[in-house]
């Protein structure tokens, strides 16, 4: 590790609902993201980064405290569906630990951690509610503006510089400059939270023109039949009134998703140019990731609820640290992004070790330095508990070869990820898989129990996993 004159600044860019395969650097979907591709080429790209709970509020609350949502009761979004609590300000926050290590912290954009308390109650010195400012500015400048196509999206008639992506980038650049000036040589940490590409996708015409709908290829999972799958998956199509959609209906929606990602990439490029203009790029760790992915037509589904397909749990993660991370690095280890980043940030900041708060992730610092730590995890675990369409408990364990999904009140799912990467064929009942299924259930149980997941804290649910009492 290169000896540092001072602790590095940290710029954490989190976007909303971005699929792993929709960055150009992934070499999968035909999406153009030159600025993020450049960022990845200058640092480390993670091939196996996974979200641990693919829903906005719980994922973001977990990121603040470094623990699985089930450990503190953040089971679903507090703003939709049945009333539920949120992460309280009395909870641990790694941002406070960074303050103790000499950092000045700023936060801008989407929050979703608590309906009442903003980031200044969780260890941030400065907070800008960029979406509120964007709405106020747009209402004043464009009083006749109206969007009419709901969740399915449409072309944004605003000038590019007045769109939410670029207004967020402009406000974030200004906040970064303020942090830098007020820190007076001390390190700073800034979290920038874009709301794109979360639906509805509204790219401007310039970016929409890059993706004619007729040029958009089908997802590999699009010809889903839902045979031997949990009932709730086909019900989701009925909830959204899309059960009769074919690819001709989906292609324009996916095209707008691609387009808003390219527009978002342009906005991120402007933010990174702002960092360059401050002359602080060489001593700033830049982290880019998302809270979770998006179905966006995958398996014929919309949004992200009631499934743990790769579409929603596999996420992009990029870390650039000049002079420390070798440019063009790739990491193929399993990473639980929003659980592993908190201990990573603590390690980078040289914050005091935690005494009475157990984090559920592992520091990525050894991986960033090019090491292969002994005993690194061989699986990732994710969960889902319900949303605005009702309660539904799921737990997932994903290894390199297999994915097992425990659906507590419906048929379980087992996918051979080598031979069925699009997760179309549920082989849970295949006799040849009996041994591997038992092993996956056992591994899942022990991880859930260790992390304090209440769903396995009684004999009935324990026996589903350990005794195979599941149809």
Average pLDDT, the chain: 96
> What percent of the residues of the chain are helix, what percent strand, and what percent coil, each to the nearest 5?
40, 15, 45
Sign of CA dihedral 143, 148, 150, 156: negative
Please give the model's pTM, rounded to 2 decimal places: 0.97
- pLDDT tens-digit readout, 299-314: 999 999 999 999 999 9
Omega of the bond leading into 42 within 30 degrees of 0 (cis)? no
Residue the block writes with tokens 């941002």:
95
How many alpha carbons lie under 13 Å from residue 304 in its C-beta half-sphere?
30
- pLDDT tens-digit readout, 405-428: 999 999 999 999 999 999 999 999
Sign of CA dihedral 126, 59, 26, 257: negative
Count of helix runs (H) and strand runs (E) in the chain? 13, 14
For the cut 70, the answer to whether the pLDDT of residue 315 exceeds it is: yes
For the cut 70, the answer to whether the pLDDT of residue 3 exceeds it is: no
For the cut 90, the answer to whether the pLDDT of residue 170 exceeds it is: yes
Q: Distance between CA 420 and CA 447 in Å, rounded?
A: 25
Specify whether the CB–CB gap between 255 and 32 falls below 8 A: no
Following DSSP, what letter does each residue of 180-204 receive, concatenated? HHHHTTS-EEEEEEEEEESSSP--B
Res 146: pLDDT? 95
Specify whether the CB–CB gap between 259 and 197 falls below 8 A: no
Q: What is the mean pLDDT of residues 170-186?
A: 95
Q: Write the CA distances from 272 to 35, 45, 158, 199, integer angstroms.
A: 9, 17, 23, 25
Query: Which domains, ranges and CATH numbers included, belong to the chain?
Result: 9-368 (3.40.720.10), 399-466 (3.30.1120)
Q: Phi first, then psi: give them for residue 311, nearest 5 degrees.
A: -50, -35
Query: Of residues 164 and 80, which shows the higher confidence score?
Result: 164
Helix (H) or strand (E) run with residue 207 in it: helix 205-208
Strand order in the sheet with 380-387: 380-387, 390-398, 402-407, 413-416
Specify whether the CB–CB gap between 172 and 131 falls below 8 A: no
Q: Facing residues of 50 across strands?
A: 314, 336
Which class for 466: exposed (0-12), middle (13-18), buried (19 or more C-beta within 10 A)? Answer: middle
Q: What is the mean pLDDT of residues 207-222?
A: 98
Confidence grade of residue 355 (pLDDT, cut at 50, 70, 90): confident
Encode burial over 105-129: b for 16+ CB neighbours within 10 A, e otherwise.
bbbbbbbbbbeeeebeebbbbbbbb
Specify whether the CB–CB gap between 16 and 291 falls below 8 A: yes
Specify whether the CB–CB gap between 376 and 440 falls below 8 A: no
For the cut 90, the answer to whether the pLDDT of residue 5 exceeds it is: no
Res 2: pLDDT? 41
Q: How far is it between the farthest Cα atoms of the chain?
A: 65
Q: What is the mean pLDDT of residues 128-147?
A: 96
Residue the block writes with tokens 């949120």:
86
Confidence grade of residue 81 (pLDDT, cut at 50, 70, 90): confident
Q: What is the mean pLDDT of residues 234-262?
A: 97
For the cut 60, the answer to whether the pLDDT of residue 141 exceeds it is: yes
Q: Where are the alpha helices (DSSP H) in 225-352?
A: 231-239, 247-277, 310-313, 337-349
């Amino acid at each position: 590790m290169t000896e540092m004159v001072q602790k590095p600044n940290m710029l954490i860019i989190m976007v909303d609902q971005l699929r792993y395969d929709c960055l150009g650097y992934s070499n999968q979907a035909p999406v153009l993201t030159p600025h993020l591709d450049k960022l990845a080429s200058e640092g480390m790209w993670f091939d196996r980064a996974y979200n641990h709970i693919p829903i906005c509020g719980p994922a973001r609350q977990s990121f603040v405290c470094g623990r699985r949502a089930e450990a503190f009761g953040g089971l679903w979004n507090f703003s939709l569906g049945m009333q539920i609590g949120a992460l309280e300000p009395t909870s641990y926050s790694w941002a406070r630990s960074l303050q103790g290590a000499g950092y000045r912290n700023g936060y801008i954009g989407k929050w979703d951690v608590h309906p009442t308390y903003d980031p200044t109650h969780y260890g941030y010195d400065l907070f800008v509610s960029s979406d509120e400012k964007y709405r106020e500015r747009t209402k004043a400048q464009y009083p006749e503006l109206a969007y009419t196509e709901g969740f399915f999206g449409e072309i944004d008639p605003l000038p590019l510089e007045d769109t939410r992506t670029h207004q967020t980038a402009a406000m974030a650049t200004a906040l970064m400059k303020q942090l830098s000036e007020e820190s007076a040589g001390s390190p700073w940490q800034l979290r920038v939270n874009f709301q794109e590409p979360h639906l509805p996708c509204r790219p401007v015409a310039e970016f929409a023109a890059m993706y004619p709908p007729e040029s958009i290829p089908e997802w590999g999972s699009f010809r889903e039949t839902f045979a031997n799958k949990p009932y709730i998956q086909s019900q989701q199509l009925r909830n959204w009134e899309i059960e009769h959609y074919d690819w001709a209906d989906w292609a324009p929606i996916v095209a707008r998703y691609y387009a808003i990602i390219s527009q978002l990439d342009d906005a991120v490029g402007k933010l990174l140019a702002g960092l360059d203009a401050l002359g602080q790029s060489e001593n700033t760790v830049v982290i880019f990731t998302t809270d979770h992915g998006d179905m966006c037509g995958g398996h014929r589904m919309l949004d992200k609820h009631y499934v743990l397909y790769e579409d929603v749990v596999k996420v992009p993660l990029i870390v650039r640290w000049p002079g420390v991370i070798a440019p063009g690095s790739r990491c193929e280890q399993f990473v639980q992004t929003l659980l592993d980043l908190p201990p990573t940030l603590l390690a980078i900041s040289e914050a005091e070790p935690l005494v009475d708060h157990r984090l559920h992730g592992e520091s990525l610092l050894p991986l960033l330095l090019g090491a292969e730590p002994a005993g690194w995890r061989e699986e990732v675990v994710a969960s889902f508990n319900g949303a605005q369409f009702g309660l539904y408990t799921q737990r997932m364990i994903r290894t390199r070869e297999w994915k097992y999904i425990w659906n507590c009140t419906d048929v379980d799912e087992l996918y051979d990820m080598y031979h069925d990467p699009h997760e179309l064929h549920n082989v849970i009942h295949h006799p040849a898989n009996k041994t591997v299924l038992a092993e996956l259930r056992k591994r899942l149980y022990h991880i859930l129990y260790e992390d304090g997941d209440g769903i396995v804290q009684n004999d009935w649910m324990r026996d589903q996993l350990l005794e195979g009492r599941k149809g």
